[in-house]
Structure 1
Amino acid sequence: MTSATDSPLPAVPRLIATDLDGTLLRDDKTVSDRTVAALAAAEEAGIEVFFVTGRPARWMDVVSDHVHGHGLAICANGAAVADLHDGGRLLKVRALEREAALDVVHTLRAAAPGTSFAVELSTGIHYEPEYPPFHLDAGATVAAAEKLLHEETPGTGAPVLKLLAHHGELTPDDFLALARTAAGDRASFTRSSPTALLEISGPGVSKASTLELCCAERGISPAEVVAFGDMPNDVEMLRWAGTSYAMGNAHPAAVAAAGGRTVNNNEDGVAVVIERLVAEHTLSRTQR
């Protein structure tokens, strides 16, 4: 693996895809002045920037002022594409079918007793009484997962963006491995939290697969994409992009998936690479 200073960049980069927490954002959840300047320089150079995150659209205020001119962000690990210039309106939804979500709930309860669940809908999150509460979502309904997933009339409820599963005793990686073994044929399992908190999407839904759809709409190939990430939910994206970087603080799975490595998020690792990318891109244009 190469570092940010010697890793080759694409000759004509067209898109930067970056995770947020642990990647673009510092640990205090801020975007540094250096990173803001780097994002603006990329846009000025004609390089699109996509934020690609596990966060729901309603939690994108931390970067909404810095989104690229197109205004789009990929949220909920690829389950939604949101327009941040229009209040986070969802333009594309790749839902987890409720029947499949309920099947996963029953399977994980049997495989890992003590698991509690939350349901992330397109309209907000709701969770079971045992699930760690979301203080940012004071209006959430607290009830058993079966009730949260129930529809009076099939097809009339808000789309399920993802199911979240929490376990208080298992290690995060052990819980992920157990869940994939037990129900990986019915949904996509990943994680981005330092705790045993799994994020469960529809089959084939990931940051990478939705980014691929957005790039195809723009005629952008994987070879023209530079991606950044730090956790298991970034692995597919890091593998898909023609050029990719794991952060200095990254999980071993992200490090293994990426082609290069930059410094950690508190040292502005994304900005370090973007600055070099923009400088080389600008130089190549002046030499034509």
Structure 2
Amino acid sequence: MTPPVPGPPVAPRPTRLIATDLDGTLLRDDKTVSDRTIAALAAAEEAGIEVFFVTGRPARWMDVVSDHVHGHGLAICANGAAVVDLHRGRRIVEVSPLEHTVALNVVTALRGAAPSTSFAVERTSSFHHEPGYPPLHLDPTAIVAPAEKLLDEDFAASVDPDGVGRPVLKLLAHHPDLDPDAFLALARTVAGDLASFTRSSPTALLEISGAGVSKAGTLAHCCAERGISPAEVVAFGDMPNDIEMLAWAGTSYAMANAHPDVLAATTRRTESNNDDGVAVIIERILQAR
């Protein structure tokens, strides 16, 4: 039988959306956005390419990029648990919560497997933590109490009336001694059937969301609403909480400073966050048009 004649090569789909992590990716180590990156983001939007910030940060920490938002103004926060409108005072427009009973079961499982673990609870409107938890930013409004109380609605009603009924976006778990990757592996082993576990911190700090919640899942949902396929998305990341998003996007780049698991997840590389690696690729995309 005569072999079929191969057809013409399929041209790559044009980029319609850029999805970028923030810390360690778009932001420099001093948490600023460089002039080069600001210009590249604006040029992408001017060319008709949407830009999504996809981060583990909560909505209240998005002021770092609020001045550089163009076009749609949406961001995916809390590792996919919230879609936030940055044009409207960082208003949360969609939520994929972590149910209270599930969070309590995760706390019980991790306390049993790693007794020195301390917890924090991130709700849509507030952040509270246990006495032993080392918060990254001191929050004078934070309630300090055992996680079991922080997750109890009656207790929440007595100490935080504004937070009553507000969904839990994620649970955070910190261990003072364990290797970060070993802590993540342990948590997935003892409670991976209950929730989604990931990490983005250089310390042993885990971020725990509802089962199936991820940057990739929420990004896929937002893209589907816009008729954008994975082949039309370019994604950037540096830490384990970016891996699923990098695997989903048609084109993805690991930062030069990325975690080894991220470097293994994609063959494409760009410069480090301190060397404007995201801007470098955006400029190439625009030059190729």
TM-score under structure 2 length normalisation? 0.92
Aligned with 2:94 (options 75, 92, 95) = 92
Q: 2:171 matched to which residue of 1? A: 163
Q: 1:233 matched to which residue of 2? A: 241
**In the superposition, relative to structure 1, how do residues 20 and 142 fare at CA in structure 2: closer, same or farther (>3 Å)?**
same
Classify the secondary structure of the residue corresponding to 2:170. strand
Verify the 8 A CA contact 1:187 1:200 in the aligned structure 2.
Answer: yes
Identity of aligned residues (%): 75
Which structure would you say has the larger Rg? 2
Q: Cα offset for 1:113?
A: 0.9
Verify the 8 A CA contact 2:18 2:52 in the aligned structure 1.
Answer: yes
Residue pairs, 1:118-157, within 5 angstroms: 118-152=120-154, 157=165
Q: 1:250 matched to which residue of 2? A: 258
Letter in 1 for 2:173: A
Verify the 8 A CA contact 1:36 1:66 in the aligned structure 2.
Answer: yes
CA distance in 1, matches of 2:135, 2:252: 34
Corresponding pairs, count = 273
Q: Cα offset for 1:136?
A: 4.5
Aligned with 2:16 (options 14, 17, 36) = 14
Aligned with 2:211 (options 203, 215, 219) = 203
Alpha-carbon displacement from aligned partner over 1:94-131 (angstroms, at most 9, x marks no partner): 00000000000000000011000000000121000000
Residue pairs, 1:38-117, within 5 angstroms: 38-117=40-119
Aligned with 1:273 (options 265, 281, 284) = 281
TM-score under structure 1 length normalisation? 0.92
**In the superposition, relative to structure 1, how do residues 134 and 140 fare at CA in structure 2: closer, same or farther (>3 Å)?**
farther
Verify the 8 A CA contact 1:76 1:162 in the aligned structure 2.
Answer: yes
Alpha-carbon displacement from aligned partner over 1:42-68 (angstroms, at most 9, x marks no partner): 001000000000000100011001123
CA distance in 1, matches of 2:96, 2:264: 27
Q: Cα offset for 1:133?
A: 2.8
Alpha-carbon displacement from aligned partner over 1:170-218 (angstroms, at most 9, x marks no partner): 0000000000000000000000000000000000000000000000000
Q: Cα offset for 1:149?
A: 0.2
CA distance in 2, matches of 1:201, 1:10: 34
Verify the 8 A CA contact 1:243 1:259 in the aligned structure 2.
Answer: no
CA distance in 2, matches of 1:175, 1:208: 22
Letter in 2 for 1:13: T
- Relative contact order, higher structure (CA 8 A, sep 6+): 1
RMSD: 1.5
Classify the secondary structure of the residue corresponding to 2:67. helix
Q: Cα offset for 1:134?
A: 4.1
CA distance in 1, matches of 2:57, 2:127: 12
Q: Cα offset for 1:278?
A: 1.0
Q: 1:5 matched to which residue of 2? A: none
Aligned with 2:272 (options 264, 267, 283) = 264
Letter in 1 for 2:122: E
Classify the secondary structure of the residue corresponding to 2:110. helix
Letter in 2 for 1:56: P
